[in-house]
Amino acid sequence: MIWFFVTSTALLGIAVIVLWARQRKRSSQFAYIHGKLNSILDKGTNERLMIFDSDAQVEQLLIAMNRLLDQAHRAGARYANQEIEIRRMLSNISHDLKTPLTVVLGYSEILLHDHRGLAEREREAMTVNIHDKAQEVLHLVHSFFDLAKLEAGDTEMVLTRVNASELCRLKLLSFYDMLASLGMGLEVSMPDEDLYVMADAEALERVLDNLITNAMKYGADGKLLGLMLERSDEGKVAIQVWDKGKGIPENEHHRVFERMYTLEDSRNRLYQGSGLGLTITKRLVERMGGTIGLHSVPRERTVFTFFLKSA
């Protein structure tokens, strides 16, 4: 009996000691977690919490906390990138607005103060320039608001069965004279039977407008523009617009769909863009449930390919 009592007492004492040691260790671990979290938050570092393998519950808590820190870090990086993108966009908008407005103001002042000394032909030329530059500003403003509405989801998009083959033919026909004036040939590849897609006809037409205009702006020196329409796998239709111009450097591929992105020498080209065309194009394709991508080999072929659901 005495032996049983002594043994029970000893076991109880050992259990108390073990529980005390475990509690002390857990308290130490929680103190580390608290201190480390405060340090990470105060300093804004990318550190993570050390994982303890002796306590399953604490280990699960640390893993969850590290996942939360990873998400917070990615969100912070996205926010920083957006800040940089917004500053770049505002700088480009300022540049693109300033240039035509300066021309408008310059010609306006001449017409206001020196109109008596101008010949009729000079006045007409200045008036035409003022009109063209005002249209350029208006186009930029419309593009900016169109993009804002697309990103806010305020643009109504009604998907119906659209004859993609017929729309592509009509669109190429509308650009034929412009392509001829640039000395660009045309290569078209379509199946004999018409292909239909689920799309918003107006949005699809704008996508084709933007891609063809982009090919003329950057690829005119390649003297060839191509359009290919084909049925792809998984019930989709692929539409490609390509050119053989100077192409887009590989290190720029990830930026082509950014707001206000333009190649450095594009601002002095005949078909100057706002830098919003490809961004709007991507948003429109995505709103229609499709995807778009780029592949470019300079002087060989620069291809924009987008996929829409087959109808």
Domains of the chain: 160-309 (3.30.565.10)
Higher pLDDT among residues 189 and 156, named by residue: 189
Query: Average model confidence (pLDDT) for the chain?
Result: 78
Whether residue 117 has pLDDT greater than 50: yes
The amino acid occupying position 13 is G
By the 8 A CB rule, do 255 and 278 touch? no
Q: Which tops the pLDDT comparison, 219 or 253?
A: 219
Q: Select the more confidently predicted residue: 166 or 23.
A: 166
Q: How far apart are CA 92 and CA 163, in angstroms?
A: 37
Q: Which residue has the tokens 């111009």?
A: 245
Angle formed by the axes of helices 277-287 and 120-152, nearest 10°: 40
Are the C-beta atoms of 282 and 257 separated by less than 8 Å? yes
Nearest to 291 by CA among 300, 299, 282: 282
CA distance 55 to 76: 31
Q: Is 5 exposed, middle or buried (0-12, 13-18, 19+ CB in 10 A)?
A: exposed
Region of 105 please: left (phi>0), alpha (psi -120 to 50) or beta: alpha
State the pLDDT at residue 195. 94
224 close to 243: Cβ distance less than 8 angstroms: yes
Residue 84 pLDDT grade (very low, low, confident, very high; cuts 50, 70, 90): confident
Q: 187-224 in b/e burial notation, b at 16+ Cβ within 10 A?
A: eeebeeeebbbbbbbebbbbbbebbbbbbbbbbbebeb
CA distance 45 to 205: 48
Looking at the predicted structure, is the pLDDT value of residue 100 above 50? Answer: yes
pLDDT band for position 13 (cuts 50, 70, 90)? low
The residue whose two tokens read 């007409």 is: 124
Residue 164 or 264, more confident: 164
- Position with higher pLDDT, 279 vs 19: 279
Which of 142, 228, 156 shows the shortest CA–CA distance to 186? 228
Residue 212: pLDDT band with limits 50, 70, 90: very high
pLDDT > 90: percent of the chain: 21
Lowest mean pLDDT among 117-126, 200-209, 212-221, 225-234: 117-126
Specify the amino acid at residue 264: E
- Distances in Å between the Cα of 19 and the Cα atoms of 14, 29, 112, 199, 268 are 9, 15, 93, 67, 77
| pTM for this predicted structure | 0.61
Reported as a single tens digit per residue, the pLDDT across 261-274 is 555 444 333 334 55
Please give the pLDDT value at position 61.
73
Span 47-67, pLDDT tens digits: 776 776 666 777 777 777 778
Greatest mean pLDDT among 17-21, 94-98, 227-231 lies in 227-231
pLDDT level of residue 259 (50, 70, 90 thresholds): low
241: which 2 tokens? Answer: 């617009």
